[in-house]
Structure 1
Amino acid sequence: MTNKILKYSSALLLLAAMAFTGCKKLDDINHDPTKPTTAEPQYLLAGSQKAAMDVLYSGLQNGYIAMHYAQYWSANSRTDDSRYKLDEGNNSTMWNNLYRISLNNLQTIVRQNATKPATPELAVQTAIARVSSCWIYQILADAYGNVPYSKTFQLDGGNLKPAYDDAKGIYGHLLDTLQAQIAIFDANKGVTATGDVIYNGASEKWAKLAHSLMLRIAIRMADADGAKAKQIIEAHYQLAFTSNDDNAQFTYLNAAPNKFPFNDSEREIPDFFVSGTMVDYMQATGDPRLPIYARPSKDDKALKGMPYGWASADATRPAPGRFSYPGTQIYSATMPGILMNYAEVEFILAEAAARGMSVGEASTHYVNGIKASIDYWKKLTNNTSITDAAVDKFVGAVPYNAADWRNVIGTQKWLALYPQGFQGWFERTRLNFKKPGGQALFIAPVSGSMDQSAPFVPYRLTYLVTEQAQNQAAYNDAAKAIGGDLKGTRLWYNKF
């Protein structure tokens, strides 16, 4: 694994060097230096995975945007971000890195492999690239709404002014693409591809992930197209993840440049506190994950969350030492970059069953999801204090209630998605859940929102400012199609 990661780091450095190399010929000057034309597919695959994970777990994107909007964290520095003032540089980096690096490299793999003699290994590698693209495109569609998709990599891979596709239509294409890749994986069982850092290229593992991603897509559209969601989930749930051994995650190492993007192994990170929203609820239910999710405050040595969105300029705000930083594992150099895990699958199935789909008992899947999440964190942190008795006691404190399934499942799924800020935010807005029983869980920023369109929570990110200037016609069409380029504009599947 070490050699593999070092290889893809070298490949990324090579591509960066290409971007700054001087050119003498006119055709060299006109050549796009960021487009990898000679790098081998295995390096492009590893590099695209790392680039996507790096931006999705960066403090600038995950921390200042997603972890705030999911209300897992509250800001200590730059408190305007927790009041929904979007940093355009952070927004631009997320969009550009996912498109120009990860998706561009994945599309290049598909194109390069299409020119080579067909082999099972190339077929699996290409299928992995396509599944990885589906994962990223769903994140973009869930973060922004309509986004460039079908026209993005035309003109030899570099359409500078692509049209924006309808997000609902993108969902349909993603489902079709995943289904096609599953057929390839099934036809090539036992085959491994090079370059993959998630599953070391194992076709069977990638098939399970593809089935699981179909469940994620389907449940997210359940309120907008229940019949389609039911069809997909019932057809794929038995072939999705069945244990934590199936979890899809990117392994980081305790060595630069392959450390977890946001880690405190070399310096203290004072930027964020865990939110009072999360800490207070976990304390009230006796959640055994709380000492993992948060660390004791400096002053009181207690687990205490900062009330969400409290501006540093407010003179009534207590001293920072009163509040808890995120847990040591969350800031570890070797914290895995989670793509999708078994707990999420179980909560998807719990919700599906609650909606009347034929996938088993909702209560069973709900309990499985809770236990899978606790077991994951227990093993990751080598925590021996979490006993089976403690887990059973906690499960008893948060019982399943069919009449209140949206709130019951929503709260526990939200906790299980920590620290996947983007997925936690998407689920918060989609399910619009409260505490079991109906009492409010989330709060508006204490010091008020800085965005009038989103006083309580943003439903999306606004498009890049550069898109308004450089791709104006497509931008205008997209903004009109979704109902306005505002953070408060609801996505097509947000019905509650």
Structure 2
Amino acid sequence: MKKIIYFLTITFLISSCSDLTDLNTDEKNSSKPPASSLFTAAAKGIAEQVVNTSVNKNIFRLVNQQWTETTYTDESVYQWTTRKISDNHWGAFYAGTVKDGSLGDLIQAKVFIENEVIIASDPQFAAKMNIKKNQLAMIDILIVYSYQILVDTFGDVPYSEAFKGSKYYLGKYDKALDIYKDLIVRLDNDIANIDTSHPGFGDADIIYQDNLTQWVKFANGIKLKLGINLKASGLEDAIADAAIISASKGVFSTNADNAKISYEKNVPNTNPIYVELVSSGRHDFVPAKPFVDALVAKNDPRTKTYFNQTYKDIDPANPTGDLIVVTGYKGGIVGVKNTYSRYTHVSDKIQAPDFKGTYMDYAEIEFLLAEAVERGVAVSGDAASHYTKAITASMEDWGIIQADIDTYLAQSTVAYSTATGTWQQKIGEQAWYALFNRGFEGWTSTRRLNFPALVPPSNADASAEGQIPSRMTYPIREQTLNAANYNAAAAAIGGDKLKTKLFWDKN
């Protein structure tokens, strides 16, 4: 992570990096940062948005009822407008906040590299061209990753006209389905363009340390996820099947493939969770009761790595006396202010300053493959084996010993052949457990499979209309700065409401 400090220091020391209206400035005479700095900044920015726990930025652990709140309740009951959470999440990717979003950084980096002139007579011409192609592919993979998050959050979003005018104007909103299809094409091109025998961004690659083979697997993982969502929509089955089948042949096969960012024990490169939960001195969150109860009921060994194992409660022998320390797990009630000391806490492991942040992991891939089999796609293996591999991968990644994994898998409530419910319930509930600290992808899985069957709190905000939110509403900023396109998009998706389902959310 020391290289993050180096590259981001360059980024912030060089001026004029916030204006996206002049992307074609001559790089030789530009005061803007080099592509490598922008690439690093974007990779870090994306990670910080998906990892963050701030109620101003990332509330997906709350909406998916894996965490809940102590000091506030607004976010847990879906009152998201006061803090302009949609604006902040949107702005983390698009430009238009106090600094460029990650997409702005990536697009600037792309323009710099595309404009780089490599002389044909250069003895290293072929090698330099391959490096250039690798860099452009790496940039585009992160662009696709970002758009997947945006589409899966809002539905239709600016895409084809984005970043082509003022940085505050993102143009028309493209259909989510059309964006998905184009993202798959882009990933196919990126995978084809990567030459693993040549480098990419070198030390500026804070995800895979310039291992291009891993970038190919990462791209295939994103394509698999896009394909599964597309398959769930019942639209464009041929495109979905082709994407899933081709991706399945080149995805993660071990936790060593996981796309993660390493953080450090010292500022400014500590994990955002540590910043929000420890260094801030705040105690705003506890694990949610639905999630804690579900894990305890299945004797899930991850409880000891997800949670600390004590909380305070009333002493039955002295009800009016001091609270006593209880060994065990007790989740907070969703939608109310939970007294922090009276409930289970997120584990010290997760709150550590150097706890890694995850873009994508092997367990997620195996759950997607299990789902692909059940949806009738011709990938190798059966649903039960992929399901078992997914659970095993998650537990191994969290440091659970093999004996405990075997015991867990042997339970009739866990084994694929005997667990309760449909395949959607079996996969959906186990994916929920495995995606504990990955709120956004956990929410995506829950929406697509409709499991676990979460219940909104009784005091949920009226804007939710009695349902778990299916999407975020569009940013307030778009309603004022891009009003005509916003109004057209809202009408096209069936209303800018929390309950409006995305095109792939058919359950």
Distance in 2 (alpha carbons) for counterparts of 1:42 and 1:102: 13
RMSD of aligned C-alpha atoms? 2.3
Matched, 1:424 2:434: no
* Cα distance, 1:285 vs structure 2: 0.6
Distance in 2 separating the partners of 1:189 and 1:485: 47
User: Is 1:89 matched with 2:84?
Assistant: yes
Deviation at 1:127, TM superposition (A): 0.7
Structure 2 match to 1:284: 297
SS of the residue aligned with 1:77? Answer: coil
Which amino acid is the alignment partner of residue 37 of structure 2? Y
Counterpart amino acid of residue 473 in structure 2: T
* Partner residue, 1:248: 259
Identity of aligned residues (%): 30
What is the TM-score normalised by the length of structure 2?
0.86
Larger deviation, residues 120-129 vs 168-177: 120-129
> In 1, distance between residues paired with 2:300 and 2:102?
37
**Corresponding residue number in structure 2 for 1:261:** 272
2:416 maps to what in 1? 400
Instruction: Give the length in aligned residue pairs.
Output: 462
1-structure distance, mates of 2:43, 2:242: 30
Instruction: Give the 3 Å change call, closer, same or farther, for CA 454–73 of structure 1 in structure 2.
Output: farther
- Please say if 1:444 is aligned against 2:462: no
Q: What is the CA–CA distance in structure 1 between the aligned matches of 2:85 and 2:304, rounded to whole Å? A: 30
Q: Tell me which of 10, 35, 38 is aligned to 1:41.
A: 35
Residue 298 of structure 1 corresponds to: 311
Q: CA deviation at 1:161?
A: 4.3
2:364 — aligned with what?
Answer: 344
Tell me the residue number matched to 1:327. Answer: 347
Q: 2:403 aligns with which of 373, 376, 389?
A: 389
Cα distance in 2 for residues equivalent to 1:31 and 1:243? 43
Partner residue in 2 for 1:437 = none
User: Structure 2 stretches of 5 or more lacking a match?
Assistant: 96-100, 119-127, 313-325
Partner secondary structure for residue 339 of structure 1: strand
Letter in 1 for 2:209: N
The separation in 1 between residues aligned to 2:171 and 2:306, in whole angstroms, is: 41
For the Cα contact (< 8 Å) 1:190–1:202, is it kept in 2?
no
Q: CA deviation at 1:337?
A: 1.5
Cα distance in 1, alignment partners of residues 40 and 135 from structure 2: 11
**Residues 401 and 408, structure 1, Cα contact 8 Å, conserved in 2:** no
User: In structure 2, what is the Cα distance between the partners aligned to 1:423 and 1:294?
Assistant: 20
Are 1:154 and 2:164 matched, yes or no?
A: yes
Question: Equivalent residue of 1:433, what SS?
Answer: coil
Q: Tell me the amino acid that sits aligned with residue 495 of structure 1.
A: K
* Per-residue Cα deviation, 1:297-332 (whole angstroms, up to 9, x for no partner): 4313431111222x23xxxx7x44221121112222
Give the AA of the match of 2:139: A
- 5+ long unaligned stretches in structure 1: 21-27, 379-385, 435-440
Q: 2:283 & 2:143 partners in 1: Cα distance?
A: 34
Q: Deviations over 1:263-287 (max 9, x none)?
A: 1443544101101111101001111
5 Å matches for 1:150-189? Answer: 150-155=160-165, 158=167, 160-185=169-194, 187-189=195-197
TM-score, normalization by structure 1: 0.88
Q: Write the mapping of 1:18-97 to structure 2, written as runs, cut at 5 A.
A: 18=16, 38-60=32-54, 65-86=59-80, 87-97=82-92
Could you list the per-position Cα deviations for residues 407-428 of structure 1 after superposition, in whole angstroms to 9, with x for gaps in the alignment?
0011111211221111111111
Find the aligned partners of 2:391 and 2:357 in 1 and give their Cα distance.
Answer: 20
Matching residue of 1:98: 93
Corresponding residue SS for 2:358 = strand
